[in-house]
Amino acid sequence: MYGKKVKLRLLFLSFIFLIIILSVFLILKSLEENVVYFISPTEIKNLPEIDITKRIRVGGMVKEETIKLNQNQISFVITDFKNEINVTYSGAVPNLFSEGKGVVAEGYLKDRSFFNAKKILAKHDENYMPPEVKEALEATK
């Protein structure tokens, strides 16, 4: 149907395209550590060794009933429902920061279960709804 030249160009271009996709995949795979924005408490637990001088981000859910305020320090627990990590932080938190919601803490590990945060980011989930709907949902629980 199409000429030999068209077929050749199609083959050549597809070949180049596949090779580039493969190399992009391999690059992203090897850089995975840097591509992920935060790591979970479980991943911290499984780290072969911890570096207390390296600034890292830990993310998960703020465990219910763990936010404690004393003077100008706030402490809470980040959980991924398998493992947890205790976080301390002094400073302002974003409006969306609350119990049972997603959070990303940036700072330094003290050890495998204590984290000293320098910055707190709230993570929003994919749910959008008016307050009345949320109340109705809560009521049916």
Partner 1 sequence: MLKNFEPNKIFLITSKAPKYILFAFIIIISIGLIEALIISPEDYIQSHSVRIMYVHVPSAWISLGTFSVIAILSFVILIFKNKSFILIAKSLAPSGLVFNIIALVTGSIWGKPTWGTWWAWDARITSMLILALFYIIYILAWRIYDGTEKVDKVTSLIAILGAINIPIIKYSVDWWSTLHQPASINIFVKTSIHSSMIVPLALMTAAFALFSILIFLMKYNTELIKIKNKGLDRL
Q: Which residues on neighbouring strands pair with residue 73, listed in sequence order?
A: 70
Residue 118 touches partner 1, criterion: CB under 8 A: no
| Gap between the Cα atoms of 109 and 11, Å rounded | 52
Q: Which of 93, 108, 113, 116 contacts partner 1 by CB under 8 A? A: 93
Query: Can you say how many angstroms the Cα of residue 62 is from the centroid of all Cα atoms in its chain?
Result: 13
CB-wise, 9 or 55, nearer to partner 1?
Answer: 9
Question: What is the DSSP annotation of 27-88?
Answer: HHHHTHHHHSS-B-HHHHHT-SS--TTS-EEEEEEEPTT--EEETTEEEEEEE-SS-EEEEE
Residue 36 touches partner 1, criterion: CB under 8 A: yes
Say which residues have a Cβ less than 8 Å from residue 36's Cβ, sequence separation at least 6: none
Residue 37 touches partner 1, criterion: CB under 8 A: yes
Q: Which of 65, 82, 94, 111 contacts partner 1 by CB under 8 A? A: 94
Residue 139 touches partner 1, criterion: CB under 8 A: no
Q: How far is the CB of 136 from partner 1 (least distance, A)?
A: 11
Residue 140 touches partner 1, criterion: CB under 8 A: no
Residues of the shown chain interacting with partner 1 in the complex, contacts defined by CB under 8 A: 2, 6, 9-10, 13, 17, 20-21, 24, 28, 32, 35-40, 59, 93-97, 101, 104, 119-134
